[in-house]
Amino acid sequence: MRTSYYAAHVYMIVGVVSGLFYREFTKAEDFHGETQLALMHTHLLALGMLVFLIVLGLDKVFQLSGTRLFTAFFWLYNAGLALSTAMMGVHGILTVLGRDEDHIPEAVPLTAGLGHIVLTVGLVLFFILLGKRVNAHVQHPAPTAGREEDATAA
């Protein structure tokens, strides 16, 4: 569970810093247009911090961490999100510096696409693991406090 907490914390810090960078970099370059730097902040906070806070809660209920599927999800999801947002940053910086879409190397959107694919594979693994744990939880529900007392009284 700690890994999810630490991941959420790191994404919160990086997300806030990326928002600050966007604001200050566009002011320094006197840029007044659309750039992917504006989206990077939100992606890091939503897909990073919020997702891992949700994963933390689900882990508490369904004991997800410590399994091979969780480890694979964790590293693939983080790699995909890091790759995708890094390419958003590169694309955004190039836009602010005056490059139009025709002068941004094709490797930038291709690498971002690869990051999205890796992120998606991580999410699929997470849902496979979560589905298994939910099914196991439904088939063998945990006893409630009232039922335990009734069983010991009988």
Is residue 50 in some structural domain? Answer: yes
Is residue 148 in some structural domain? Answer: no
Is residue 147 in some structural domain? Answer: no
Is residue 87 in some structural domain? Answer: yes
Which H or E run includes 117? helix 107-139
Is residue 59 in some structural domain? Answer: yes
| pTM check: above 0.85 | yes
Is residue 10 in some structural domain? Answer: yes
How many domains does the structure of the chain reveal? 1
What range does the domain containing 53 cover? 2-141
CB 72 within 8 A of CB 8: no
Give the three-state DSSP class for 43. helix
Give the pLDDT confidence of 31-67 residue by residue, as tens digits: 999 999 999 999 999 999 999 999 999 999 999 999 9
Give the pLDDT confidence of 66-76 residue by residue, as tens digits: 999 999 999 99
